[in-house]
Amino acid sequence: MYLKEPPRIKVLEALGAIADGRVKVINEEECEVISSEGDRRYRVIVKGNKFYSDDNGTKFRGYVGYPIISCLMVKGVLPFDKALSDALKGIPWRKLNETLKNYSKVEGVIYEIVGKRGFNREDFERFINEVLRKLGELRPTRLA
């Protein structure tokens, strides 16, 4: 079963997780990603183009969740940009997602924050497009 393309904001959330030091490589096939509030730990398994993660997006909605994306970035499978990642440091992702309940609204807030940090939306948009293109080339499937 193929995993769907994630909402665009999940690429940003993955960059934020890396900037915050919340992605730990366990071994060649496994990572652990800690949630933005530090109260949840997600297990990620990567075997070629087969992925498993116990985050809600992957488990219940069938798309490649941010824990998988961040793990693939750390492992060098997907593109990574340190400057863009650093611009997303300290973002309260879960709080924003639960408060605004709309990824487009959250994305707007994120772009306001990074704008104040000296970055422009176009740089992030180009990066997101590249990550999603590469992710699509992998033809991600669910690891049973």
Tens of pLDDT, residues 96-114? 999 999 999 999 999 999 9
| Type of residue at 139 | R
Euclidean distance between CA atoms 67 and 75, whole angstroms: 12
1 within some domain? no
72 within some domain? yes
134 within some domain? yes
4 within some domain? no
26 within some domain? yes
Residue-wise pLDDT for 47-72, tens only, equals 999 999 999 999 999 999 999 999 99
2 within some domain? no
Sign of the alpha-carbon dihedral angle for 79, 37, 143, 24: positive
45 within some domain? yes
3 within some domain? no
Name the residue range of residue 21's domain. Answer: 9-142
The pTM of the full predicted model, rounded to 2 decimals, is: 0.96
